[in-house]
Structure 1
């Protein structure tokens, strides 16, 4: 029997290698919304911050955030042919599926974008909860648990950001984070996730046993 009967995945920075695209899209987004461009020298420092701290640091008005999110989803859709899954991500999803683990995907990205990049692995996902939400990620985790009739004690959320750790704690599920995504390993360690994953082999072992 697997260690966890449900694995809830984030997408960008967890399964998809989209951080280079994200950085490349920042100037275009800043110009479109008349915001300050990001100094390339700031990028590593931004990886130390939570998403809210990063937005505050960049001076992004919260009222503009929904429009900015939609705009970046549009840019992602236009450029997603250049975005790939991390090496080993698809094999890991197939391994978990074959072991009987239910799979869910929770992301602020659009479901159509996510499915396109997942390719053949898209059909392995038992539940998608994509798109922006006023209620945040923890509530999406709760909705997934209810829809798939799973106990929080038997579930793990896997992401790559500080906010993924916070949301998992709020939902009462275990949490693991990749060290190759949007937030740095050092930043993630400060928030004490249950697991830090440097590769998908370790991730599979933690979930399946």
Structure 2
């Protein structure tokens, strides 16, 4: 029986694509990386190809991410929940599911955003720090809550979310309104596809 639903934040719960691209481009000169001219073309590339196309060495990521988080905090007023998501989260909570967020965004940003939106439904919010190591954070969360992989479902919108869940044998619902394109998935596939937020409820009714 599923007890815990984990959500990605950017792209899955909130529509922050334009803000994120703007912040990235503001920081690009400082870190000597290429600016994003077309996000639609970038998101059609595998993750490693995106870094290569943007001339972005991985070693710059920790400092860049810290600067990004600071700029993101100043843009919280311009970021909105995905349409219909508030009602879905409240309904999932009413059904007795524990809700958590596992994101590469900062915990502070996420808590500030949820506070502004008066959305107090998440018991746990965790920053994964390493964008390529989300599976390690999820594994620690499962251990701390004494949960089996079969008792958890993740909701995410990025290829790396699928990869992380498959490493841990956790089922994942693909949020098709998010950052990455479903067509970019190769090999590993999500267990379910939600084309709209309300599809999450329908999928959970099948569990």
Superposition TM-score, scaled by structure 2 size: 0.91
Unaligned runs of 5+ in 2: none
**Number of residue pairs matched by the alignment:** 204
Identify the structure with bigger relative contact order (alpha carbons < 8 Å, sequence gap 6+): 1
Tell me which protein shows more helix as a share of its residues: 1
Give the deviation of 1:134 after TM superposition: 8.2
Give the deviation of 1:155 after TM superposition: 1.0
> Corresponding residue for 2:24?
26
Q: 1:142 to 1:48 in 2, by over 3 A?
A: same
Is 2:74 the counterpart of 1:78? yes
Taking the TM superposition and a 5 Å limit, the aligned residue runs for 1:48-197 are 48-118=44-114, 119-121=117-119, 123-133=120-130, 136-188=133-185, 191-197=188-194
- Deviation track 1:76-135 (CA, whole Å, cap 9, x = no partner) reads 0011111111111111111111101111110111112112222322x3112211151387
> Corresponding residue for 1:198?
195
Return structure 1 stretches of 4+ with deviation > 6 angstroms.
none
User: What secondary structure sits across from 1:106 in the alignment?
Assistant: strand
Distance across 2 between alignment mates of 1:35 and 1:133: 19
Aligned-residue RMSD, C-alpha: 1.8
- Deviation track 1:126-184 (CA, whole Å, cap 9, x = no partner) reads 22111513871001111121222221012111110000000001121001111111101
